Each structure stands twice: as C-alpha cells, then as structure tokens.
Amino acid sequence: MVENEENEKKFTGQEGSPVTVRDLTRPDWRERLDEYTYSTDPWEVSVTELASGFMSELDELSGRNLKISGRMVLTCAVLLRAKAERLAGRDREDEEEELEEGSDVGFWGYEEFESDSYIPELELPLKRMSERAVTKEELSQAFSSAVEVYERREERLETEDEESPYNWGMDLGAEDNFQVKLQRLYRKVKEKLSRGKEVLFSSLLDRETKEEKFEKFMELLHLQSEGKVRCKQEKPFSEIKVELSDEDSPEESVPEPAKEDE
C-alpha cells in the first residue's frame, strides 16, 4: 500500500519523484514509461492525478515545450490501455475458471459440433453486378455536359488571361516593343515642347488608368536614365513636369548662327 502511494506520487509530477511530468522532456521518456507500465500494476497509478500534475506543469512551462503535451496524451493512453487489458485479462481468466469448474463434459451438448463436419457451411447467394447499358438520352445528355464543361473551361482560361499580371513596363523580354514605346513617348514629348507647350505628365496619358500611369511613368524614368528627358516635381504628389535634358533641348539642337566674319 505504501508502495502504491509512492507510485501514484511519482506520477503526479511532484518534485522529487523518480518519474515526473518534467521527465517527459527527456529523450529516454518512452523507456521509462514502458518500464513503469509493465513492471507494476497499472491500476496502482492514478491517471487523473498524473493529468492534474501535467496541467500544473503546463502552466509553469507556459506552452514552451509542445512535445510534452503529445507525450502526455500517449502516456495516459498507454496507462489506460494497460489498465483495460489487465482488467480484461483478469475477467477472461475468471470466466475460464468458472467454466472449467461448473461444466461437465457433454453438459452443454456442443461437443458433437467439435468435428468440422458438424459446422454448417454458410452459402452466400451469388449476386450479379448490376450495370446497365447507356440510353440514347443519356448519350445526348453526356454530349451537352461535355460541351458545357468545355465552354466553362474556355471561359475560365479567358478570364485567367485577362487577369494575368499586367506588363508594367518591366517585361524586358519584350525589349523591342519597349524601345518602340520609349521612342514614341520621346517623340510625343519633343513634339509638345516644339509647339511651346509645357509638358505635364498628365498630358502624356491617353486613358488615365492606373496601369497606363504606371507604364508611362516607367517609360519616362527610362528616358530620364538615358539622359533624354528630365522630370521635375515641385512637391510630393504634385504634377510632374517633363523637360528635355540640356543636350536634347530644342534650343541647343538649333545650330548656332554663323559668325559674320566667317
């Protein structure tokens, strides 16, 4: 009895006991569990107290070591199973003993069936796999369904194409196209400036969509990096003014008037 109390104490997870909840963090925890489960009567261990010990231990750990919770569940499960098996084994043994004591040979009358010839053979009725032919109507329905599925797939593919990532001017694979776009924009800027207009970023847009704004801005940045234009913005989010860079400005490109003495 004293030993049982000690065992229960060990499994409550209290300090000083040989098997504590903290032991579940050790690498050899499984061996210790097996040793403990099979070397003693599992009915002497209180799973409730062990689980309570675990709960308080968990509070202390504040969930830092999640492996323990899994091991704890397994520990309780192993103990419960060991208890159940022990109990079932005890019951079976008791029943067998009772039968041996209380029955006379021939009393139950089943000894004549001990020979295989007395065991009636069960004949299962053979069942036909019932599959039937397809009807004409089902064939036409199948055709309608096939077309419907096809149309849905096509529609989905079209939508996916439309929703495909926009070319923000970053697709350098299509470099030829991009160069054409740059030249077009550069010509547009020059043309506007040659008419003496002030070129604002907004005046370069056709549709004024988000995508177009981004694309045109990327093109302008490219032109600026190539030294062809210069972009100016007085303050953040204000209009961007586009000018030709000094070397490309119309004034500079105009040939200087020839000196009279030449």
Which residues bind to other proteins, rule: CB under 8 A?
A: 126, 128-140, 142-147, 149-150, 153
Q: CA torsion angle for 78, 84, 88, 91 (degrees, to 10)?
A: 140
Name the minimum Å distance from CB 153 to other proteins.
8
CB 154 to other proteins: min, Å: 10
CA dist 122 and 68 (Å) reads 52
Q: Residue 236 is encoded by which pair of tokens?
A: 């953040």
Nearer to other proteins (CB atom), residue 145 or residue 202? 145
> By C-beta, is 119 or 134 nearer to other proteins?
134
Residue 230: its H or E element = strand 229-233
Closest CB 121 distance from other proteins, rounded Å: 16
**How many C-beta atoms surround the C-beta of residue 167 within 10 A?**
14
Q: Which is nearer to other proteins, 144 or 225 (CB)?
A: 144
Q: How far is the CB of 135 from other proteins (least distance, A)?
A: 6
Task: Please state, as a whole number, how many other Cβ atoms lie within 10 Å of the Cβ of residue 244.
Answer: 21
Q: How far is the CB of 133 from other proteins (least distance, A)?
A: 6
Q: Give the residue with the Cβ less far from other proteins, 137 or 206.
A: 137
CA nearest neighbour of 189 among 166, 210, 219, 163: 219
What size, in residues, is the chain? 262
State which residue, 132 or 195, has the beta carbon closest to other proteins.
Answer: 132
